[in-house]
Each structure stands twice: as C-alpha cells, then as structure tokens.
Chains A and B, each alone.
Chain A
Amino acid sequence: MAARRWVRTGAFAGIVTIFLALVGLIGGFTDVFLIGDEVTFAGLMLLLPAFVAGFVAAAPRIEGGERREMSLGEAAVAAAVAAASAGFVFALAVLFTDLIGDERIRPIFLNVSPSLMEFVAFGQSTVVGAVILVALSTMAGVLGGVLRAAPPVIRRPVTAAVVVTVLFGFLQRVIPIALDQLSLERDWLYHPIHDGLTWVGAAVVAAISAGISLLNTRFGARVRGSLSSSIGGRSGLAMSPVRLIASVAAVALLIAAPLLLGSVISEVLGTVMVFALLGIGLNIVVGYAGLLDLGYVFFFALGAYSLALLTGATLNVYGVPPDPAISGDLNFYIAIPIVMLIAAAAGLLVGAPVLRLRGDYLALVTLGLGEMVTVLVGSPWLVPLVGGPSGMRGITDAAIGGFAFRDPQRFYYLALAFVALAAFLSWRLATSRIGRAWTAMREDEQTADAMGISTTRFKLLAFAIGGAIGSLGGALFAVKIGSLTPASFQVIVSIQVLGLVILGGLGSIPGVLVGALVLVGLPGLLREFEEYRFLAYGAAVVAVMVLRPQGLVPNVRRSRELQEEERAQDEWAKAVEEGETPGELGPPAEVTT
C-alpha cells in the first residue's frame, strides 16, 4: 500500500523534528534570521523534515523492475500525505508536552524551553498552533514533492537556488565583512538589524545560482558549446570552460580570502587549512591505499610535539620555564623535514607489525595507538619531556628573516603554501606507479598480490607518507597556537579528519578541501552552532556512508567503480526477470568469509 509508505515516511520525519527540538536546534535559534524577518533557522529546522519527507515520498519507485516517475498531481498527493503526518506527529508531541506541562519535562530534556513552546505555538494557543503546524508542514512537503516530480530542467536550478540562498543566509557574518573590505554597499543584501539576508538580496542570490545551475544542465550545453568555441578551446582541452572558470575563481578566492575577511575569520580559515593538510595525509592512507587509520592523531601529536622539542619550546610552568629533557634549537624550516622524517619512521615502525592485519582490526589497532598517545602526553610520567597536563609553550613562529607567521592572516598563507605542496605531491603520487599499485591493492588485495605488487611494502609506504604529511599538519598547528596542551590531541581529531575525508569523497583532493571547509569552517564561523558540530559530524558520516558513499566531490575513478557495480546489479536483476541464468553478469561476488 502506497499510502501506508507515505505515512511511515512522514511519521519518521515527525520523529526527526522532535529529535531536533529536543537537542535544541529549534528552540535555541528562534532569533537567528536567515532571510528577512520571516525565515529563521528555527523555522527552517521545524519544516525541513516535512519538506524532505515530501521529497522522498514523491521519489520514483521501482515497480515490477521498472522505474516509475510520479506525475505532478500524484507527487503532490503523496507529499501532502507524508508531510501532513510529519506535522501531525510533531504537533501531537507538542500537545502532549503542553498537557503535562513543559516545566515538568525541562529538568530532563533541557531544551524544552519556553521559547521553544512559544515558537511552535506560533504565538497562538497550543491547539491553534498545532493546526497551523500541520498546515505549514503540509505546504512545505507539497513543495518538496512537486520539486521532486518536476523535470530536471526545473528541479536542478530551483534546488541550487534554495541551497545557495540558505548558505548565504548562514554566511551572514562572513560575506558582509568581505563587502565592507571591498567598500561595496551591503545593506541591500544583508539586513542591517538582524543579520539575515534581505528578501531582495535573497532573490538576487537565488536568481544568480539558478542561472549558473541552468548552464550546467542539458539546456545549457548549447550555450556552453558556443562559449567554448568562441574561446577557441578545442576538444583537446581537459576541462570544460565552465569548470575552468569555476576552478580559477576558487583558487583566487582561496588566495584572497584572508585579505577580504579580516583576522577573526582568517583564524578559522587557518584551522581549516591545518585540517585540510591532515585530510590530504589521511586521504593517502584511507582513500588511496584503503587502510582505515583511526589513530591519525598519533602523527598529529608527533608532529606538534617533535617540532616543539626541536625548535626549543619550553615546558609550560610558572616562573622561569625549564627546557624539556630533549631540546634542540633549530630553525622551523630546518626542523620541518626532520619532523617529517621522524613521523615517516614512526609510521614504518608502527606499521610493520600491524599492517598484515585485516582491515577492521587494523582500524582498531591504530585507534588504540592513537589513544595511547593521548593518554601518554597527558600523563604526569612524561612531564619532563612534554610537560604533561600543562603542556609546552614558546613555540617558534616560523619567521623568515623578521617576517613572523603567528598573525592569523599571515599564518593562513603559510598553511596554504604547505597545503598546496601536499596536494600537488598527493596528486602526482595518485597517478604514479605507486598510486596505481595502491588502487590495485585497495580494490582487491589478493589479486594485487598475485600480480606481483608487494602489498606490505606499499602499505608501509602509504603509512609513512600519510604520517609525514600528518606530522606536518601537527607542526603547523603548533606554530599556529604557539603552545601545546594534551587537550588538542584527543581521539576526536582522528575522527574529525576521517569525517572530512569521507564527506569530501575518499581519494579526492578537492573533496578534502570542501570537507574541511564544511566540517571545520562552517562550525567555526557560526559560533552558535559550536556545540552541535560533532552531532553534525556524526550525522554527516552516517548519511554519506548510507546515501552517497562516493562523497560530495567524488574521485572520478572511485565513483565510476561504484556506478559500474550498480549497473552490473541492474543488468543482473533484468536478466533474472527475463528468466535467464545470470551467468557472467552476476552481481559483484559478496564477500562472506
């Protein structure tokens, strides 16, 4: 029964809305405005699940082996049913809360605040509020459903417009600063009183992004064709002109960002770059070689602390700070290669005994190693070497001549330079013989072994190179902060880096950058969301793995492999239906050992 499925989708969306309310993503954000006086973040969170429920309910179904698109009318009905049930479930929860009194629930669920209750009642009585809630949810859902059933030439631009507009709403504390720096007028785009976009601004942003998206559809292909022929690019050009322009713009933006955005935001961007560096390193281990390393914080800590020791940092103690048990007095640029060598050697040493283990066991051994580092650097035992719980201070500022890099804007460029270097190295590696050996090993270790690839050696190599780049990230982090405490070297770092590599797309270098910007940059820029960042991380990792395993900016070869698998499965399904023996077109053999 289709209707039952719709109701179930909707009920699930309703439960998600309740969840969002309970963790505080609705009640705490009633005064964060995205667009005009009307669209707040709380409102977005309240109606987004219903919208998504409508979108999902209207998705094409596979019926009898055939893909069946819904007509607009059907889609609207399905979406309305789903979204209404979503609204209904949430409204029930609100009524229930009101019945037993929100002040009695608050001691347990801290976020059931008066402002939440007022917000979901729309300033009316609870019952009227509930009716409004169901009505609004239904409207949001119908929008979602109609959007899903609309032809791509409409769906894509509208989706792009909505997403980009919301993103601009979020960046309300970033873009105005840039506009000010460029001494451009900002009041037309962002509301002068409560920070969100103005409706005019939102319309402009939506129109522009819809236009760009339209260029990328089939309709835009003709325009693109004439564009590229007028530029004179023949088919030999590796990139389409649109992509070329986008890449150039992205690079220009990366270079100009700190100048445009001032030192507060540059600080965040510096952190983004450090994490991008870590991501590039971990990407080699996980994305290229297919070894899941959950203890990447090991190399991060190793880099930071060995740099501190080599460049003459002191223990963090009151009075005259003593030198640690081992102390060098090297220049940052001389210390860096040594740090990387130490890390590579540590990678080899740690890797040699454990790399023969099967994938998931390897993951846990590395997790254990990472945790050991966390416990050790914070333990009183190692106070004479790394300062124990109070850490170290007085770390070099990586000056060249008299030009120090401690200032956030300058540090950004230092980090960017290293990121560019690491990205280039990693890109060249990926296409080299080593990279191809990694790919072979990742896809099928036994076959690779049979083809004469020494898997142990290439695994070790990946571990060493990944470790060296990770230690570079640690060293830069030390320079950025200027002092070290064990609090910065928790297991969460490993998971954060893994999360951004996965979100961006395993094996994809631009993906790492996008992942770092989204997972590290966005929460850093929106201070209110700070405490929700790890919630978002977890949700993002699960969602990516379940819904889009290739990531946001997929590696071409990886996604092609995934697609081929899918196609093989489709073929197989078809063959079964026609009563043929699947034969050679069987689905990828399931690994059951």
Chain B
Amino acid sequence: MAPSLRGGTLAGTEAPHVAVARLGRFERLPWRRIILVVLGIVVGGVVVLGTLRTLGLDRVEGGYSGGAWRDFIVQGAAQGAIFAMIALGYSLVYGILRMINFAHGEVFMAGAFGSFFFADAYAKSGFLNRSPLLALAIVTLVAVAVSVGTAVLLERLAYRPLRNAPRLVPLITAIGATLFLQNAFRGFFGPQPYGYPKPTVLAGNITVLGVQIQRTQLLVLVVAVICMIVLQWFVATTRTGRSMRAVAQDREIASLMGINVDRVIVVTFAIGGVLAGIAGVLFSLSFEQVQFTMGFRPGIAAFTAAVLGGIGSIGGAALGGFVIGLLQAVGPPLILTGFGIPSVFSLKDAFVFLVLVLVLVFRPGGLLGTGEAEKV
C-alpha cells in the first residue's frame, strides 16, 4: 500500500544482508524444505506403521471386526455429509469475498437451536410422531430462517463496513462475532444442553444394499446429496448463480457489467445460511442434543473440509467434507489403536486439526484447488 512508504517507515532497515553474510552458509540451507520433508516422512511413517499394527491386531487384543469398520465408515460418511454442507457456506463466501467467515459455525448453531423449540413443542403435542414429514419440514424451515437471518445480519452489521479493510480485519471481526453469537445464545437459553426430540420413524436401523445403517444416517446422506445437487444446479444455471460466479471472478468488473454486488453478497451469505440451517437440523437429529457451544468444533471441521477440498470450489467442499468425516471416524481407530493409545476417539478432534495443518502446509490449494493460495 502506498501510504506506508511515507514518513521514513523503512529508514534503517537496509542492513539485513550484512547479517546474512555474517551468519554464513548454515543459514542458507533450505531449512523450510528440510523441515517439510522430515515432517512428511514422520507423518507418513506413523500412518503406515499404525495402520499395519492395527490391522495385525486380533479381536482379543483390541482389534476391530469387519462390521465395526463398516460402521465407522457409514458413521463417517454421515458425519461428513453434515460437514460438507457447512463447508459449502465457508467456501461460497470465501469464493466471493476472499474472506474466512469464521462465525459460520455459529450460524449453524443458531439454526439448530432455533429449530429446537419447535421440534420440542411438536414432540410434546405428539405432532412430530403423527406426521413426521410435515413436522420435520416445518422445523427445518424454522432452522433455515434463523440461520439465514443470522448470516445476513452478520454480513450487514459486521462485515459490510469492512469490505475494503485489510484482510485480517474481517477475520478478527468474525472471531469476535463467533464469541458474541455463542454467548448471546447462552444468554437467551442458558448454558445447559437440551435434548433434541427425534420422531420414532427415524429410530432404529434399516438395511440398504445389504448394509445395516441407522435411519437417521440414511436421512442425513440423502438430504445432503439432494442439497448439493440443487446448489450445483443453482450456481451453474440460474441468473443469480451466474452473477455469483461473475462476482467471484472479479468484483469490480462484475459491478461494471450491471451486477448488484451487494445483493449478490447477501444472497451468498443467505445460501450459506440455508445449508447451515438444514445441516443444523440433521446434526441435532443425529446427536439428539443442542447446546450453545455445538457450532465451534463442527465449524472448524467444516472449514478444514473446505480447505482440504480447495476453498472456493463447490465440489471441493463436498469432497472435503466426506473426506474429513471419514478421517475423523476411521482415522483414530485405524492409526492410533496400533500404538496402544487408550480411548482413541477422544483424539478425533486433534486429528482434524492435524489434517488442517498438514493440508495447509503441504497443499494449501486443496485437493481440487490450484495451489494459488500459497502466497498473495
């Protein structure tokens, strides 16, 4: 930026090359490359070794049966579908504003919490079990409304004034907003968890293609896939979708072409909100509980998914979501059990963060991305 060069800001910083010369050859080794390679070898080695050792275990020694692995995979896929839906919200906003909407996890939480009171009332009146489809549809509509409202308000009050600010400013604001939203909901409804009712039709298992799967998980997978197809269609073919893509490519030129950029941005936040709201209901039905802190960890997992798939791309977010879900469900037992680590599932969040770190370090552009993200 031009103004920073004024006032002699840089005066006196011309010396470092002298220091380089003095520190000599040791300093000039490609330390970053070396650390990366060592890190890569260590991580790869641990993964392979752990996997081999786990698969070599008998049932008595704490190994798992084939059925257990199948359960892990189904569970991971269902979890991943939810992550994917949240991840799309991160990805869409990032694609258009180049901004990480850190508070998106709380948008998800808001939808889930908002829908709870309707679901609870319907459960008490018996409506939820009498006509589960209608009841769930209304509950989902409420969740979507609350999530969209939260997302749009967030954009209007916190992000819009900062649209041209340096990149870190909106991110810091988003962190503040996360804290604010969490604690606002805590203030409204209290810190305790609420039990989320589940219609009886969703209880129990169902056999699909010879695989036993919980009914809730099946619902989650089906709804998530439908949502993603609809979104893909929306962005690819509708007029609004086209303007979204145009704004993502170049905001200024898009506005010169007569696209109302503000409106497109609001629509983007709203779409993210719709998906987060639906994800909120699905998540609550799977875990049968809502609490004000419920958005944080899934939010980070979803963000990791978005980055893993290549942030800014819809297919990438979907792919990343499933991958993260599977990694979280299958990774800890597969890799860690072999080392005799107790209660591996308590480490599943650490697993997600490790993946986040590794992806950003080794392939910041993501699986489907270009690698553009490494430097400005």
> Using a CB–CB distance below 8 Å, which chain A residues touch chain B?
19, 22-25, 108-111, 290, 292, 294, 349, 352-354, 356-361, 363-365, 367-369, 371-372, 375-376, 378-381, 433, 436-437, 439-440, 443-448, 451-454, 456-457, 491, 495, 498-499, 502, 531-532, 534-535, 537-542, 545-546, 549, 557, 560-561, 564-565, 568, 588-593
Q: How far is the CB of A496 from chain B (nearest CB, A)?
A: 9
Chain A contacts for B100, CB-based, 8 A = 360, 363-364
A364 touches B307 (CB 8 A): yes
Nearest chain A residue, comparing its CB with the CB of B5:
A447
Chain B contacts for A535, CB-based, 8 A = 179-180, 183-184, 186-187
Is B313 close to A, CB under 8 A?
no
Q: How far is the CB of A566 from chain B (nearest CB, A)?
A: 10
- Which of B4, B6, B187, B300 is within 8 Å of A371, CB to CB? B300
Is B210 close to A, CB under 8 A?
no
Centre residue among A19, A371, A531 by max chain B CB count within 10 A:
A371
Q: How many A-B residue pairs have CB under 8 A?
A: 236
- Which of A108, A381, A531 is within 8 Å of B347, CB to CB? A381
Chain B contacts for A364, CB-based, 8 A = 100, 303, 307, 356, 360
Chain B contacts for A537, CB-based, 8 A = 176, 179-180
From B30-38, B133-141, B197-205, B263-271, give the one contacting chain A. B30-38
B188 touches A353 (CB 8 A): no
A371 touches B186 (CB 8 A): no
Is B117 close to A, CB under 8 A?
yes
Chain A contacts for B168, CB-based, 8 A = 290, 292, 359-360, 363
13 A-B pairs with C-beta separation under 8 A: A110-B190, A352-B35, A357-B374, A369-B353, A443-B9, A531-B186, A531-B187, A541-B173, A542-B176, A589-B1, A590-B164, A591-B166, A592-B98
With A537-B176, A545-B173 as known contacts, state yes or no: A357 contacts B360, CB within 8 Å.
Answer: yes
Is B66 close to A, CB under 8 A?
no
CA distance A520 to B244 in the complex (A): 43
CA distance A369 to B350 in the complex (A): 9
Is B24 close to A, CB under 8 A?
no
- Which of A19, A358, A454, A502 is within 8 Å of B172, CB to CB? A502
Q: Closest 5 A-B residue pairs measured CB to CB?
A: A541-B176, A538-B180, A23-B187, A538-B179, A443-B4
Chain B contacts for A457, CB-based, 8 A = 16
Q: How far is the CB of B330 from chain A (nearest CB, A)?
A: 18
Chain A contacts for B229, CB-based, 8 A = none
Chain B contacts for A381, CB-based, 8 A = 341-343, 346-347
Is B42 close to A, CB under 8 A?
no
Q: How far is the CB of A180 from chain B (nearest CB, A)?
A: 35
Chain A contacts for B186, CB-based, 8 A = 531, 535
With A453-B16, A540-B176, A588-B1 as known contacts, state yes or no: A436 contacts B10, CB within 8 Å.
Answer: yes
Chain A contacts for B164, CB-based, 8 A = 590
With A360-B168, A591-B167 as known contacts, state yes or no: A564 contacts B176, CB within 8 Å.
Answer: no
Nearest chain A residue, comparing its CB with the CB of B183:
A535
Q: How far is the CB of B67 from chain A (nearest CB, A)?
A: 26
A593 touches B98 (CB 8 A): yes
Chain A contacts for B170, CB-based, 8 A = 545
Chain A contacts for B58, CB-based, 8 A = none
Nearest chain B residue, comparing its CB with the CB of A457:
B16
Is B65 close to A, CB under 8 A?
no
Nearest chain A residue, comparing its CB with the CB of B117:
A108
CA distance A495 to B2 in the complex (A): 31
Is B161 close to A, CB under 8 A?
yes
B375 touches A356 (CB 8 A): yes
Is B258 close to A, CB under 8 A?
no
Q: How far is the CB of B9 from chain A (nearest CB, A)?
A: 6
